[in-house]
Structure 1
C-alpha cells in the first residue's frame, strides 16, 4: 500500500506570514503556519509534519508530491554531504533551516518513501489542494485570525479517530505499478526515491513559552522512580532556559500537536507560531517558584508556578499530558501578577 500526499508551503512576502500544508484527501490533511517565516521553511515543515503524521504506519510507502526542488534536492541529494560536514555547505557556510532538516533526517530513518516533483499552479489536484490550505494558513496569520489545522491523519496520536478499531480503513491507495505511476505523474514530473541518495523581548508582549529537551526525562535513567508530578516539574525547570528555547527542532519534540497558549499579553499562540517565534527570539532567562502540581486522572498533570524575570513576575499554568509514553505540553497560560 502507498500513501500519496502533496506537501506545499506559502509565505506572503517571503519572508512574511507563512503557512504549510499536506493533503491526501478532504478527510485527511493538515495545515499550520507562523507569523513570520519563509517559503522554504513552509515547504520543509509540510513534509516534516507529513512524516510525523504517518509515523504510526511506518510499513506503508509514502509518495510525496512536491513542487519545491529545494526540498527534494535537500532530502535526496544534499543532506548526506551536509551531515558529513557538520551541517555545513561546500563553501563552509552553515546550512539554512538546519533544525528543520535535522528533524526531517530523524523522521526519514527507516521509512519507505519517494519524492515526486510536480509543477506548481498547473492544475494538479493534490498540489492545488495543499497550496490552497498553505496559503489560507499564511493569510490567517497575516490577518491575525485562527487558521484551520485540518483533520490530520486517521489513527495518528491526537487524531479524533485514533481510538477507532485497527480495522478502520486509512486513506491510502493501492501501490501502483511503475508504469501506472509514470502514467499518473503530472506532465514534466520527476520521481525521486530514498535509494537515490540523499537581547530579550518585553515579557508582556512576546511568547511566554519555552522550547523542549531532545530527550524526555520520562525515558531517562531513574525515570521509573519519579512520579508524574516530579517528571513534569523537572521538564518545566529545564525548559525555561533561553539556550534551549530557540531550537525549532527541539521545540517540536515536546509540544503536543494541538498545543495552545494564552500568553500574558492576551494573544493566543498555536504550536507552529510558538515554535517559530521562539526560534527567532528565545527571550530572557527566568526563575520559577512552583505553586502546585496536581494530578488530573492518570495521564495529565496541571503545574502552576510563578516566574521571575527582569521585566516582571507572571503567574503561569501548564497542562502536561501523557501521549504515547511521553509527557507533552498541551496548554500554557501566563498572567502578569498585580
Structure 2
C-alpha cells in the first residue's frame, strides 16, 4: 500500500524561526523546527524526517507531495552530479544545505519513493495541513516555546531519529536568494523543463509569461521568478531608480501585490532572439504604460529589461 504524505517547511524572516512538517492524516503527522533556519532547510527536513519515520515500512512505496521545486530537483535530479563534483555546484561553489542533503541521500537508499509537485497555498488539503503545522512550529520557536511535534507515524516508535539540529545558514545571506543563483549557473540539461519558462519561441508565449510575472501568487515564488528573469535583468522605475534582478526579487518577496489588468499595445520581434512587448496596466495608482524586452536563450524566454511610467491624460 502506497504511503501518501505532504511535506512542507516555513521560516519567519527567512532566515528566522523555522518549522517543518509532514502530514498523512490527523492521526499521522510530525513537526519540528529550530530557532533559526530557512524555508529551504524546513522543506528538506520535512522530507528527511518523513523518510526516517517510515523506515520501518521501507518496502512500501512512498509518494511525497511537495510544493518546493528546489527540494524535488535536489533529490531527484541534481544530487548525483553534486556528489560526483564533491558536493559542489556546476560553478564550483559549495552546495547549500549540504548536511541535510547528505542525510537524505543516505535515507533514500533502497527506498521506493516518488515526488509530486503541488502548488502551494492553492487549497490542496494535505499540503495545507503540512503548511499549517510547519508554520505553527516556526511560530512556536519565535515565541520561545516547544512546538507540537504531533503523533508521528504509527509503528515508528523510537526508530525515527530525533529531529536533526539546524545547520547554520550562510551568514548575512538569504538561503532562497542564494539558491536562486543555482538556476542561472546550471547547464541547460540540469534545468527542469516542467518548471522552466515556456520553451515556445513564438511571440504569443510572451504575453502569458508577462501575465505570470504579474500574478501575486507567482511573485511570492522566488524560484519561479528567478527562472523568468534574465540573469542580467534591469528595470528603470518611475523615479529613475535602476532595479537589479535581486532588487526586484527582494521587492516581490516583501510586497503585498494585487492583480492588475494587462492590455497589449504592441508585440514585435526585434531580432531572432529579442522581442519587445508594450502594454497598459490598470492599477490602484492609475494607468501605467509598460515595456518589456524579452530574450530567447537556451530555448526559453526570459525578461531582460522592463520599464513602467504612469500615463498622463
Tell me the TM-score normalised to structure 1 length: 0.49
User: Which residue number in structure 2 is paired with residue 173 of structure 1?
Assistant: none
Match of 1:276, SS? coil
User: Which residue number in structure 1 is paired with residue 78 of structure 2?
Assistant: 78
User: Which residue number in structure 1 is paired with residue 117 of structure 2?
Assistant: 117
Superposed structure 1 runs of 4+ greater than 6 Å apart: 277-281
User: Which residue number in structure 1 is paired with residue 26 of structure 2?
Assistant: 26
Task: Supply the distance in 1 between the matched residues of 2:166 and 2:57 (Cα, whole angstroms).
Answer: 28
Match of 1:17, SS? strand
Structure 2 residue corresponding to 1:276, chosen from 157, 166, 191 = 166
User: Which residue number in structure 2 is paired with residue 107 of structure 1?
Assistant: 107
Once the two structures are TM-superposed, the CA of residue 146 in structure 1 deviates from its matched residue by 1.7
Task: Supply the distance in 1 between the matched residues of 2:12 and 2:24 (Cα, whole angstroms).
Answer: 24
Task: Supply the distance in 1 between the matched residues of 2:141 and 2:51 (Cα, whole angstroms).
Answer: 24
Once the two structures are TM-superposed, the CA of residue 116 in structure 1 deviates from its matched residue by 0.1
Q: How many residues align?
A: 171
Match of 1:129, SS? helix
Give per-residue Cα distances to partners, 1:139-187, cap 9 Å, x unaligned. 000011120000000000328xxxxxxxxxxxxxxxxxxxxxxxxxxxx
User: Which residue number in structure 2 is paired with residue 139 of structure 1?
Assistant: 139
Task: Supply the distance in 2 between the matched residues of 1:68 and 1:279 (Cα, whole angstroms).
Answer: 18
Contact 2:53 2:153 (8 Å CA) reproduced: yes
Report the CA distance shift for 1:105/1:277 in structure 2 as closer, same or farther (over 3 A). closer
Match of 1:8, SS? strand
Report the CA distance shift for 1:51/1:158 in structure 2 as closer, same or farther (over 3 A). same
User: Which residue number in structure 2 is paired with residue 59 of structure 1?
Assistant: 59
Task: Supply the distance in 2 between the matched residues of 1:139 and 1:109 (Cα, whole angstroms).
Answer: 33
Once the two structures are TM-superposed, the CA of residue 101 in structure 1 deviates from its matched residue by 0.3
User: Which residue number in structure 1 is paired with residue 94 of structure 2?
Assistant: 94
Once the two structures are TM-superposed, the CA of residue 280 in structure 1 deviates from its matched residue by 8.9
Task: Supply the distance in 1 between the matched residues of 2:169 and 2:43 (Cα, whole angstroms).
Answer: 17
User: Which residue number in structure 2 is paired with residue 50 of structure 1?
Assistant: 50
Report the CA distance shift for 1:278/1:71 in structure 2 as closer, same or farther (over 3 A). closer
User: Which residue number in structure 1 is paired with residue 245 of structure 2?
Assistant: none
Please give the root-mean-square deviation of Cα atoms over the aligned residues, in Å: 2.0
Contact 2:38 2:169 (8 Å CA) reproduced: no
Report the CA distance shift for 1:280/1:34 in structure 2 as closer, same or farther (over 3 A). farther
Q: Do structure 1's residue 153 and structure 2's residue 43 form an aligned pair? A: no
Match of 1:87, SS? coil
User: Which residue number in structure 2 is paired with residue 205 of structure 1?
Assistant: none
Task: Supply the distance in 2 between the matched residues of 1:65 and 1:72 (Cα, whole angstroms).
Answer: 10
Contact 2:66 2:117 (8 Å CA) reproduced: yes
Once the two structures are TM-superposed, the CA of residue 278 in structure 1 deviates from its matched residue by 7.8
Q: List gaps (5 residues or longer) in structure 2.
A: 172-313
Give per-residue Cα distances to partners, 1:44-69, cap 9 Å, x unaligned. 00000000000000100000000000
Q: Do structure 1's residue 68 and structure 2's residue 43 form an aligned pair? A: no
Query: Residues 1-338 of structure 1: matches in 2 within 5 Å?
Result: 1-158=1-158, 257=162, 272=164, 275-276=165-166
Match of 1:111, SS? coil
Q: List gaps (5 residues or longer) in structure 1.
A: 160-252, 258-270, 282-338
